[in-house]
Amino acid sequence: MSASDFHLFEVIPVDSEKVRGITTKAILTEDENKALRWKSSTGNVSKPLSFNRPVQEVISTRTDDSVFVFTDKQGFVFPAGHKHPINEFEVQKNDLDMAIRIKTYSHNVSSFIVAILWTDKLIIYAEENRFEMELSPGIKDLTFVDSEYIYAWGNSDIYRIRIFKDGPVVFRHLQVHLPTVQNKFQSLKITSNEKVKSEEIKSLQAGRRFILVQTRDAVYSISNSTGDILAVRKTPGIIEVKLSCMKRLFFSESVQMLVLIFEDKIEFVELDLLGKAIKVEWSISCSEVRSHSSGSVSVVYKADDKTLWLTPLGPEEKIQKLVSRNDLQKALAFARHYELDEEIIYKAELKNRIQDKSKTNEPGHFQAVRFLSKKITDIEFFHDLLKIVEDKELKNALIEYIAILVEKEGVDEFVSVPLMGLDAMRKELMKIIQTKNFARLSTLLFPYQNHISAEYQAELLKIIPSKIPSDDLIAIIGMFQKIFEISDSGFCQNLLPKWSSERALNLENEEPAHWPENALKVLCALRKPDLAQIDFKFTGKEYSYEVSIELLMGNLEALNELKVQYGLKIPLGEYMDPNLRSQWLLNWIDNEIQNRHDETGIKRTFNDVVKPLTYRWAIEIENFLLPFMASEKNIPLSAKVHILKLIPSEQVRRQQLLELLEPLSHPFPDFLVEFMKTMLPA
């Protein structure tokens, strides 16, 4: 990414003190008479917007350019630049009076969310409903991720809240103490006489796998699944932080750009999917910048009261924008200049030509369609295109080309409607799996997509062997989704995700060397349509498909981090049970000590693994270590003393020290004498 991928352009002079709401289309300002008016990007000013009661708050959304106007009793939702609200809702008395933050989210004209934060509770208006939930004191701000997630956060508490139709639910509550810039993060147990120096959180940005928090001098990423903290960028003077250029691949996030706003410059840092900084890409200089976000647009206010909009736009996104405007010649020239894939342009041109009835009788129409078709390799595009093709000769030509794409010997099977018997289907499926020609699966089943019953679909899944490589499993899931995604049978909403999740879990035994990463790849292959309620194993209750998969993936991601960071391979069943997890860790320590008789290795085991994991899993280290110390352990005395130092209670340490000294004779080793001195009264 380079400077040419971002575009700066001047909009109109504004008095930032009068700005009450801002969108990509217009600015809502307050004049001397306290009336609200729209000022468009061309400078036109609307008539005043009138309300029966005094206006208390005006807030713009960052998603669809809507503006929310609140009086003491009502809320109004205005599309950008409109003088009439598209939605009205009642606001309970006093809800706004005690509010320290009000945030809104709107993604279409009929669906919206308003979140009102008090010092100790959160009030949510979701369309017709009002919900209220208690939070820890000290929460000071809110961050929306999308229409389903909102983060409530303070200096040490971060709540991840999921908004369901029947009310909000706390998915995760993290309690963190950010390090200072000079000190490395440590797990701290705070007593009444100790104070932890923690940097103040100024803002929070949330992704699916991690949270980005900004302090005065640094930006940190916090893992959503484990709470682990990673310093992303340490540099003084950061005013504001934004995540930009985010791209999603099903359930995972690819590389994205972190935008750091300073007093005199804007810096761009490339992040990986775990929130780790890859490199600082580039920066641009501005004078006294401060910004406001509206959708994917950052609005930068400069000192001379002129407004600049900073718009992230990559080459692929620019092509998509040109295609959406039907500016296909410009899109083609741009794609060739940057050596990008041109298929999206040919698809648009072919679809336009077929939909335009006036071109049907033009000379060369048939040849033009055949020419464009040969530039396209997406079989599913042709499947959809056939639904709008009326000319029989043209339809036959397209079917013939599809047959070539899937290396088919004939077209009879593709256009036939009678349903193939299970025995014949079983043979065909086995042949496809053995030859790994998964593209043929689409040709085999596509004609039947609206004719196959749920019972037949269940039998199809049973035909697939119980043990196949995960890569083949991912390919099969993808093909089934493409075939049945528009079917009314509910296959992609029920049977397929349930079957896929079970097959992913089986990989723990079938591919143990690559567990759980291969299981995560399988789950990432699933899409996110509106699916049925499914009771998945390990979730504990019935959730929607999307939530169940997310919970399962969160646990698998935690297992994968334990494997990568600590070299631990915990079975999923034992990880999900806190008691079994604690016992597993004890057994693992026993095994480590049997294999490590050296003092350094044992100390490293407790410092690098036991101490952080007991903190992460909320295990009282004292209760964990006492049974361990009580049993006979063939480990060096210095290592035993090191373990004693981890026990927080001074009284318990003294008792354990006496038991340790009982079988020993004078003179004691120097390290033991030094430890005994620390136990003497001051």
Considering the domain boundaries, does residue 276 fall inside one?
Answer: no
pLDDT of residue 409: 38
pLDDT per residue over 143-181, tens digit each?
Answer: 887 767 888 988 778 888 888 878 888 877 887 777 653
Q: For residue 415, which phi and psi values (nearest 5 degrees)?
A: -95, 0
Mean pLDDT of the chain: 71
Q: Measure the CA–CA gap between 631 and 571, rounded to whole angstroms.
A: 26
Q: Going along 98-189, which residue ranges are E strands?
A: 101-108, 111-117, 121-126, 129-134, 141-144, 149-153, 157-164, 167-175
Considering the domain boundaries, does residue 224 fall inside one?
Answer: no
For residue 600, the one-letter residue type is T
553 and 542 in a single domain? The answer is yes
571 and 422 in a single domain? The answer is yes
Q: Measure the CA–CA gap between 286 and 643, rounded to whole angstroms.
A: 55
572 and 592 in a single domain? The answer is no
Q: Measure the CA–CA gap between 492 and 480, rounded to whole angstroms.
A: 8
Considering the domain boundaries, does residue 226 fall inside one?
Answer: no
pLDDT per residue over 583-604, tens digit each?
Answer: 777 777 766 666 665 667 666 7
Q: Measure the CA–CA gap between 60 and 106, rounded to whole angstroms.
A: 9
654 membership: H or E segment, kind and range:
helix 650-661
Task: Please say which residue of 405, 436, 452 terminates a domain.
Answer: 405
- CB 126, CB 148: distance < 8 Å: no
436 and 512 in a single domain? The answer is yes
Q: With CA atoms as reference, report the closest residue to 107 among 46, 162, 149, 136.
A: 149
Task: Please say which residue of 560, 576, 592 terminates a domain.
Answer: 576
Tokens of residue 87, six digits: 């939605």
More confident residue, 589 or 366: 366
pLDDT of residue 218: 85
- The mean per-residue pLDDT over the stretch 551-573 comes to 81
Q: How many other C-beta atoms can be found within 10 angstroms of the C-beta atom of residue 48?
A: 14
pLDDT per residue over 27-55, tens digit each?
Answer: 566 665 556 766 665 566 667 777 778 77
666 and 652 in a single domain? The answer is yes
351 and 450 in a single domain? The answer is no
pLDDT of residue 408: 46
421 and 541 in a single domain? The answer is yes
pLDDT per residue over 287-302, tens digit each?
Answer: 555 554 444 445 454 4
Q: Which residues of 194-209 are buried (b: 16+ CB within 10 A; e: fewer)?
A: eeeeebebebbbbbbb
Q: Measure the CA–CA gap between 533 and 179, rounded to whole angstroms.
A: 42
Evaluate if residue 443 carries a pLDDT over 70.
Answer: no
351 and 451 in a single domain? The answer is no
Secondary structure (DSSP) of 12-34:
EE--TTTEEEE-SSEEEEE-TTS
Considering the domain boundaries, does residue 57 fall inside one?
Answer: no
pLDDT of residue 349: 92
For residue 644, the one-letter residue type is L
- The mean per-residue pLDDT over the stretch 81-85 comes to 73
More confident residue, 126 or 602: 126
* 3-state SS assignment for residue 259: strand
323 and 437 in a single domain? The answer is no
* 3-state SS assignment for residue 235: coil
Number of domains in the chain: 3
pLDDT category, 348, cuts 50, 70, 90? very high
Task: Please say which residue of 576, 596, 630 terminates a domain.
Answer: 576
Evaluate if residue 540 carries a pLDDT over 50.
Answer: no
pLDDT category, 345, cuts 50, 70, 90? very high
pLDDT of residue 422: 58
- The mean per-residue pLDDT over the stretch 71-76 comes to 84
Share of the chain above pLDDT 70, in %: 63
Our measurement of the distance from residue 424's CA atom to the centroid of its chain's CA atoms, rounded to an integer in Å, reads: 42
pTM of the entire predicted model = 0.40
421 and 367 in a single domain? The answer is no
Considering the domain boundaries, does residue 401 fall inside one?
Answer: yes
pLDDT of residue 280: 64
Evaluate if residue 208 carries a pLDDT over 60.
Answer: yes
Considering the domain boundaries, does residue 208 fall inside one?
Answer: no
Domain membership of residue 386 as a residue range: 315-405
More confident residue, 7 or 496: 496
371 and 491 in a single domain? The answer is no
Establish whether the linkage from the previous residue to 667 is cis, with ω within 30° of 0: yes
344 and 485 in a single domain? The answer is no
Tokens of residue 136, six digits: 């820890």
pLDDT per residue over 234-247, tens digit each?
Answer: 777 777 777 654 44
Considering the domain boundaries, does residue 653 fall inside one?
Answer: yes
